[in-house]
A = this chain, B = another copy of it.
Amino acid sequence: MEMMDLLKKVTAASGFTHAAGVEVVAAEVGAVTLALARKPELLQFSGSFHGGVLAGLADHCAGAAATTTLAPGKIAVTVDLHINYLAPANGEKITATAQCVQTGSTLCVVSVSVSSTRGGEAKVCAIATVTLRVVDMPRMA
């Protein structure tokens, strides 16, 4: 599937998402799911995933979900992100699911839910709303 391939390519490109180990779990038009396994360098000092890592995963997931709704050659970049932390993300992995709420020629709005999975049980640990702007795809660095 072409969309899945492009998304995997962008996510696996060198940089934050590659270094963190973000995996593309599912992708369809307007909805993307990403996962990230626990690693020491993603945690805060209490042993849960760092809030910035949750925000980063939500941000990337929102951008991916919005971009799947756009014409080829266009990409959605984050204008602003609002995230509520609901519970410590103290599981073995975190999973973000983004759903495009609105898509337009200028702006997109995406809702994201992040859950933490511990011992096979998933619990929502954050929700986010992301506003994105539609731009021409930049060349990969």
Contact = CB atoms under 8 A, between A and B. Distances in A.
Given A15-B45, A16-B50, A83-B80, A127 B111 contact: yes
Contact of A56 (B40, B53, B79, B109): B53
Given A14-B40, A19-B40, A79-B107, A129 B53 contact: no
A124 B86 CA distance: 25
Interface in A53-80: 53, 55-60, 77-80
B106 A133 contact: yes
- In terms of DSSP, what is the predominant structure of the interface of chain A? mixed
Interface residues of A, number: 53
20 contacts: A14-B41, A16-B41, A16-B43, A17-B50, A18-B41, A45-B140, A45-B141, A50-B60, A51-B81, A52-B52, A52-B53, A52-B59, A53-B56, A79-B131, A80-B80, A80-B84, A80-B85, A84-B101, A106-B133, A107-B133
Interface of A: 10, 13-20, 40-47, 50-53, 55-60, 77-87, 101-102, 106-107, 109, 111, 124, 127, 129, 131, 133, 138-141
